[in-house]
Structure 1
């Protein structure tokens, strides 16, 4: 596997340095640059290529949402993964609409971070399992006795809740 070049965009220096140290433990990943805001990131991209950008959402000067919109239009080969502390569905929707192909919470671990990078490089989307579970708890209606669904519909719903990776979902339904 070729080396995956990553840029970290986050306004907290200590977080960037810690994330860089974690990413340096992954053999296939090389952090090629860091940026403290979206404008700095856009300037960096004029001279530095990247496969993936790990993008914070809330940053000064230019936030991750605006930067993601601009980057996905100007650099369509760069994959943006949101890496944020914000667990609200609104942030998720805005980042996906802006062109992000992944959404991770900052409390993620190294294994999930590596899995997200790998899957995105393979052309898949990746959404944090913890985030999806949290959203499901708040958005799925409680089971009531008035609702009647078939066994197949129940199976589909369980797959949606258990596994958000749509490629695996499609394979299971065949």
Structure 2
């Protein structure tokens, strides 16, 4: 069973999430909270695999709750429940430790897929949300580029790998990456595999989260 905690202040949304979760045979809701403080006060007592975390909540919001939960339980896996108006909070949630973002208007299949991907140590972005982040990522430029050279050296990234990360964060497909970097598709696929190994990520969403969190990429 995949044990799930829901942290959401709106009863109607909380009930909707519960219906979706309860419809999946190997999902189990083990606790529910209406704000971040209730959750973090109890987090060390929980036996949980996935936390579904709202961003905007009273008393303690999802950003502060995620930071505190990760500091108390470093291996905790948190998926942010997001709406488009939360866009300005994406960077804060990534640096706080969220491993995925799901739009509240997503399909049940997408929520299930996100839970399974993050439970398997991956990262997940709702496709529409990922596109929105890519389109609007320029607003994060000042924060992302701080200490870029020092961070690159610390993480032992080559100039080629940093450039590849930049293009991935711009939403380019493998075919577009190959054309942009004047190499074959096989070379791009091989280079991405090495980059994912170095960053301990599994897919483009993971790479984008990693690049933003570590302030490596200059967009």
TM-score, reference length from structure 1: 0.77
Native 8 Å contact 1:51 1:77 kept in 2: no
Question: Which residue of 2 is the match for residue 134 of structure 1?
Answer: 132
Measured after TM superposition, the shift of residue 168 of structure 1 is 4.5
Q: What SS does the aligned partner of 1:167 have?
A: coil
**Unaligned ranges ≥5, structure 2:** 138-169, 171-178, 193-200, 205-219
Q: Residue 9 of structure 1 aligns with which residue? A: 7
Post-superposition shift, 1:90? 2.9
Aligned residues: 153
Say if 1:85 and 1:105, in contact at 8 Å, map to a contact too: yes
What are the ranges of 5 or more consecutive residues in structure 1 without an aligned counterpart?
A: 141-147, 161-165, 170-174
Q: Secondary structure at the match of 2:51?
A: strand
Deviation, structure 1 residue 86? 3.7
Distance of 2:45 and 2:112 partners within structure 1: 26
Q: CA deviation at 1:56?
A: 0.5
Structure with a larger share of its residues in helix? 2
The reply to whether residue 67 of structure 1 matches residue 62 of structure 2 is no
* 1:135 Cα deviation from its structure 2 partner: 3.0
Identify if the C-alpha distance between structure 1 residues 80 and 25 changes in structure 2 by more than 3 Å, giving closer, same or farther: same
Q: How does 1:31-70 map to 2 (within 5 A)?
A: 31-70=29-68
1:105-130 C-alpha deviation (Å, 9 max, x unpaired): 11111111111111111111111111
8 Å contact kept, 1:87–1:131: no
Alignment partners' CA distance in 2, 1:5 and 1:68:
18
| 117-126 or 83-92: bigger deviation | 83-92
Q: TM-score, normalised by structure 2?
A: 0.62
CA-atom RMSD, angstroms? Answer: 2.6
1:38/1:63 contact within 8 Å kept: yes
- 2-structure distance, mates of 1:129, 1:59: 24
Q: Distance in 1 between matches of 2:35 and 2:84?
A: 17
